[in-house]
Amino acid sequence: MVESVEESGELGNVLSILRKRGLRVPEKATNQLVRYVMLLREGNRLTQLVSRNDNARLISTHIAECFAPMCVFQVNECEKILDFGSGGGLPGVPWAILFPKKQFVLLESKKKKAAFLTHVKAQLDLDNVAVLPCHSDEINASHNHAYEIVIARAVARLSKLWKSCGRLLKNNGVLLAMKGGDLAPETAELLNLFPRLKVDIQTYPEELVPVDKNRRLVVVHEP
């Protein structure tokens, strides 16, 4: 109980930052996010959803960063979003909690992680979430041109991501890649293979993601 109270306060600070940036936070978001953090911690005992070293700082290390992209990229007009390689549901689950009227598909090929995501969906009553338990090359044609946003957090190189998910995007859709480290080699490789693409790199708000973490959002789209 003490842990959940502390986490509720920490989450409150994160959500306050989002409100100050003009984002609407649903009334039940704090309780859902606290419950999600507890589910992540429980699930991490069975299969590695996040680094076990992060168990005590899931909010500052993971949840805050998952919200950072929506502070630098406008998502209000988007209706359907795919979380590519969702893992433990980061960032798809926090986004689904914050945007209950948008539809989210969580793509995860590993059976245990997909089962965890299905459990989270049920426990949090996330009616706007669907879990897609397959590899990206197994996604059927009904998903082609279905999404305004495909978001991926620390999943693969940019060129591999685009090869896998480019067909899933609607016209004017975007790939949002949450990345760290030196992005120059990946960006050069991507543009060499797909010279028509446009790439923008956004820096997160420091109050959510400290600069020394060197984490940024790569926005990839066709002109």
Residue ranges and CATH numbers for the domains of the chain are: 2-221 (3.40.50.150)
- Which residues of the chain carry a pLDDT beneath 50? 1-2, 5
- Answer for the pair 142, 115: CB distance below 8 angstroms, yes or no: no
pLDDT at 28: 93
Q: Is 174 strand, coil or helix?
A: strand
- Answer for the pair 145, 169: CB distance below 8 angstroms, yes or no: yes
Tokens of 190: 């991507």
pLDDT at 2: 38
The one-character DSSP state at 217 is: E
pLDDT at 107: 99
Q: What is the spatial distance between Cα 83 and Cα 207, in angstroms, rounded to a whole number?
A: 24
- Answer for the pair 159, 190: CB distance below 8 angstroms, yes or no: yes
Residue 190 neighbours by CB under 8 Å, 6+ apart: 157, 158, 159, 162, 197, 199, 220
pLDDT at 4: 58
What's the burial of 110, exposed, middle or buried (CB within 10 Å: 0-12/13-18/19+)? middle
Looking at the whole model, is its pTM more than 0.85?
yes
pLDDT at 136: 94
- Of 134, 147, 116, 149, residue with least CA distance to 49: 116
- Of 47, 81, 55, 205, residue with least CA distance to 153: 81
In percent, the amount of the chain with pLDDT more than 90 equals 85
pLDDT at 60: 87
The one-character DSSP state at 109 is: -
pLDDT at 7: 67
**Where would I find the beta strands (DSSP E) of the chain?**
80-84, 103-107, 129-132, 147-153, 169-180, 198-203, 215-221
